[in-house]
Structure 1
């Protein structure tokens, strides 16, 4: 394991003498251990580096005092310690005991009763130490005012961070202190990309940046203003509203935009996941309208729709949550982070559907989204529209099965082997796999089928190939079950405890662990590609292999439970490796 390079002299000599440096010297003067203070104020993580860093910093600050002709320069870094075993100073003891309200004579009497009578020599020593500390504090304040450099958000990180850390954060696009502060304020696991950093070290670095820029808070999302403006711009008198009682029947009784959105969700959302997605996108658009455009949803026009598309492409930092706060509570914001191109497309599709429904219900007079070009194209950093790129190649699939065959006969490995074999042979969605029961399997003259209640609340019969049934019989036997003895409601995918089924999160985490372990023998490029795979790749693999072997599109569409044939048609585009080989065969073959 590579070790972090130790702090060298230049690491401290090149740092700016900012307020953090003088805060460290004051803390050490008050008795804070050097290692603890260096970690808190100088962002030095390793305790064995703290003494040398402290010594070099003392030399730099003392040199400032010498150049100014100040005879007190020797006080910089001087440790004024009470002899071991001596009682604490009277003032410190009074404060620690909470005796501030007592008279001085009473305090002295209690102190002497606790620690005994102080000798004249001890009294003189304490008075001398108190004077030295006062001179030391005064000197550090004067030197900070004379030589201290206050940090600015526009300062480059060079000079404020150690060179090794500076080099790392610059590779992440962090050039200034403002960039680093914005990355920290965005919340979440903002330290990803910093080697050997975790939550503890990240919290210390965040406190260090806060020390440098204490008066530069990030703009927060206006929770209070949002509540007030939502009431003001309710849409009850929206410019695009169809007047009630005019032009015949209306399809909703909604009196304002919020009620109209709830009516749309109730009428069109077919699953809890769709309800959540529709509510999220509608709320974001309404909040953007009232806060950024000072209008209601039912006032929005084509210009607003176009501006919202630009907003989604680059969501401002203040619209991104920095805390795990409840909705509309301090620290909350409508977005959890910047949106991917796929998330932007999903948001626009939901809003177009919302406005189209409101027009059909005669709540709105027109749909401004039809006047806007909503095409976003492909992600320039993505894989394009090649859905086959999210399927395991034959080489990767062989590596996965070989690993499961050799990984050992444990309940976890037996379960994951069945998941891979069954899901890739049937093309089930993860939710459908979790919901499958023993009683849903049926024998027919043509073979086995699985009764599925899938997306859109639609029922379908999915053929189960012999290989998948063989894996199922073996998996049930490993759980002490058979098709004949198992109760019809027994989940096909069982928990490791032997009781009940599993949830999506447990299945997702188990598959993620499998992916990390199974592909170590693949070439580097292929391994990087499959490391981002998920459970849904098994469904893509099923569809891609079926298309490559000539399964007719209508059969595959029915098998997958897809309502739009255009979605199924995407699987009939050959995987990139097969296209490359085909071109090699044509253009590189000998004449």
Structure 2
């Protein structure tokens, strides 16, 4: 660094001081290393509370011009024709010509700004060299080790320490820097270089998954990111301490009466989850299992980490305390929903549960302990006596339903949407969701062979052709949902466009999903994932909101895939002007509700319509003037 400060070429300084025998480094590596060293020195100065020195060490002296070279006294005398004058007279004339010269050949010119910067930098380097060497620690602030401006950007993005920085990198992966304003790919690479160079002394490791885009990582690679531990971890990564694993739980039933092979509470919860319906076709947990697992893992984590008790040792008082915990969880237990289960940034809660969510949670936990009791694992149910929050019987989707006008706007935008494969797929997905009322998981699982063409008799006695989609929904219940001919024809057009048979039900189309990704390079198109469809619809609705103001804009920005399902139920039961409402039993089948009472909760009318109807009733009953 002293050589660089004094003007030695960066490649030459690298070859002289840093190059290893037989090594070749390109100029980008050289410059990145120099930038890294400058950052180290600047951060060290900041640790010593010398921000001015930190700024100085980052300055490039070449930004400042050198002072012009002055002639020697002899050269000046020859140029001015003063050779025959005395030396004293020559010096007098020289000082008059160069007042800053300070004595000509004897004193030299006043140093340039560049020379002064170099001198100060050399002094700073000598001071830094004398500092006691320190190793970074996970709890150190990022400002103590990284480039000051870079550290400030990280701090503003909520990354105050080195441990938080590594957690963020490991938790997001390859493009972890996207959410940090002012940090791009090159700055992110410098940060990674520093962390990897200090990996051993820090005791913090950046995972191998960070080097590859998320789409290229296998499940096994993601599973390896976060080790199992007795800490805030998902159910599958949570280790029970031996003294709290439930093998000697306070309320365990006699072993000879237990119908479970589970040796501890973790395995008992696993047996309960396995007893719930599972979609063998997809190999993933069903939505029911995910909901049940979420509640069980929250309780298991809380019991061990907060209450210091085994799950099978929980009393009614513990259950009441847990209800209070869910209503006001500590910040360390909460995080955004989008952090996936493999990520170190995953948290079991987003924040306090609403009364409705809290009621659902307690009902599920009652179910868990009822199962454990029925199998002879525990003797009682600590949640049986816990008071549930009152059930607020609001209409289904009351605040999550699009108006007819809002849907018409969305449909018009879909009609004008870009004519690309992803654009047509998005249009297909949104129209199918609204037209059928299917759940997100149901539409993404639907395949061509699930569609059946049928002939039926219309109300006027004529024969017509239609389509039914076979769906396996919640609880493994099967149903057939009507699909419009236009939607099926649109799917047929897309199949033909990509070299498949236009007839949707053709043998060659078996295994192709209704929302297949025809843009992939695979011989058979891959299915569009539920998360991919969800994110695409959210992005489209956000763009649709940009041209609106007020409530409409707010509604569209909040809307999601499930809003389309709610809108189907509400719009079908209401009916449009000059259009008869759809019978409730048909809507019940479309939505896959086990009870018609659930579907009836969509039976809402607009406020003005309700008031006008009741006004007529009161008038006829002579209750109004």
- TM bucket (normalised to shorter chain) is 0.5 to 0.7
Q: CA deviation at 1:300?
A: 0.5
CA RMSD, aligned part only? 5.6
Equivalent runs, 1:203-352 vs 2, <5 Å: 223=229, 230-245=241-256, 251-271=259-279, 272-273=285-286, 274-312=288-326, 313-315=328-330, 317=332, 335=347, 338-339=350-351, 341=353, 347-352=361-366
Equivalent runs, 1:9-158 vs 2, <5 Å: 57-58=52-53, 136-137=124-125, 139-140=127-128
User: Residues 288, 493 of structure 1: CA spacing in aligned structure 2 closer, same or farther, 3 A cutoff?
Assistant: closer
How far apart are the structure 1 equivalents of 2:537 and 2:405? Answer: 18
Provide Cα deviations, 1:340-395, integer angstroms capped at 9, x if missing partner.
637766654432221121123332221111222343989xxxxx976143333323
Instruction: Tell me if the contact between 2:298 and 2:348 (Cα under 8 Å) persists in the aligned partners.
Output: no
Instruction: Tell me if the contact between 2:516 and 2:528 (Cα under 8 Å) persists in the aligned partners.
Output: no
Tell me which of 322, 336, 361 is aligned to 2:375: 361
Provide Cα deviations, 1:377-418, integer angstroms capped at 9, x if missing partner.
89xxxxx97614333332332222222322354444333333
Q: CA deviation at 1:298?
A: 0.9
- The aligned counterpart of 2:424 is 414
Provide Cα deviations, 1:485-536, integer angstroms capped at 9, x if missing partner.
7237354434325834523244345434543544443335423432343333
Instruction: Tell me if the contact between 1:265 and 1:279 (Cα under 8 Å) persists in the aligned partners.
Output: yes
- The aligned counterpart of 2:434 is 424
User: Residues 373, 334 of structure 1: CA spacing in aligned structure 2 closer, same or farther, 3 A cutoff?
Assistant: farther
Instruction: Tell me if the contact between 1:290 and 1:296 (Cα under 8 Å) persists in the aligned partners.
Output: yes
- SS state of the match for residue 470, structure 2? strand
How far apart are the structure 2 equivalents of 1:25 and 1:552? Answer: 85
- SS state of the match for residue 480, structure 2? strand
Larger Rg: 2
- SS state of the match for residue 371, structure 1? coil
How far apart are the structure 1 equivalents of 2:533 and 2:513? Answer: 14
Provide Cα deviations, 1:310-364, integer angstroms capped at 9, x if missing partner.
444424538979xx9998xxx9587366346377666544322211211233322
- SS state of the match for residue 471, structure 2? strand
Instruction: Tell me if the contact between 2:437 and 2:591 (Cα under 8 Å) persists in the aligned partners.
Output: yes
Equivalent runs, 1:188-587 vs 2, <5 Å: 188=171, 195-197=181-183, 223=229, 230-245=241-256, 251-271=259-279, 272-273=285-286, 274-312=288-326, 313-315=328-330, 317=332, 335=347, 338-339=350-351, 341=353, 347-375=361-389, 387-434=397-444, 435-438=446-449, 440-443=451-454, 444-446=456-458, 448=466, 449-464=468-483, 468-480=484-496, 481-483=501-503, 486-487=506-507, 489=510, 491-497=513-519, 499-500=524-525, 502-505=527-530, 506-523=532-549, 525-549=551-575, 550-574=581-605, 578-579=606-607
Provide Cα deviations, 1:184-216, integer angstroms capped at 9, x if missing partner.
85674697876455676678799999xxxxx99
- SS state of the match for residue 557, structure 1? helix
- SS state of the match for residue 441, structure 1? strand
Q: CA deviation at 1:140?
A: 4.8
How far apart are the structure 1 equivalents of 2:298 and 2:39? Answer: 41
User: Residues 333, 478 of structure 1: CA spacing in aligned structure 2 closer, same or farther, 3 A cutoff?
Assistant: closer
How far apart are the structure 1 equivalents of 2:381 and 2:255? Answer: 18
How far apart are the structure 2 equivalents of 1:586 and 1:198? Answer: 62
Provide Cα deviations, 1:136-160, integer angstroms capped at 9, x if missing partner.
5554578x89xxxxxxx999x9xx9
How far apart are the structure 2 equivalents of 1:318 and 1:572? Answer: 39
Instruction: Tell me if the contact between 1:400 and 1:519 (Cα under 8 Å) persists in the aligned partners.
Output: no
How far apart are the structure 2 equivalents of 1:441 and 1:495? Answer: 22
- The aligned counterpart of 2:93 is none
Instruction: Tell me if the contact between 1:460 and 1:561 (Cα under 8 Å) persists in the aligned partners.
Output: yes
Gaps of 5+ in 1: 1-23, 44-54, 63-75, 80-130, 146-152, 210-214, 379-383
Structure scoring higher RCO (CA < 8 A, sep ≥ 6) equals 1
Provide Cα deviations, 1:521-572, integer angstroms capped at 9, x if missing partner.
3335423432343333322221121132244544322221112445434423
How far apart are the structure 2 equivalents of 1:269 and 1:502? Answer: 22
How far apart are the structure 2 equivalents of 1:163 and 1:586? Answer: 66
Q: CA deviation at 1:295?
A: 2.3
Q: CA deviation at 1:457?
A: 1.4
Instruction: Tell me if the contact between 2:340 and 2:346 (Cα under 8 Å) persists in the aligned partners.
Output: no
Provide Cα deviations, 1:204-231, integer angstroms capped at 9, x if missing partner.
799999xxxxx9999x999368988532
Q: TM-score normalized by structure 2?
A: 0.56
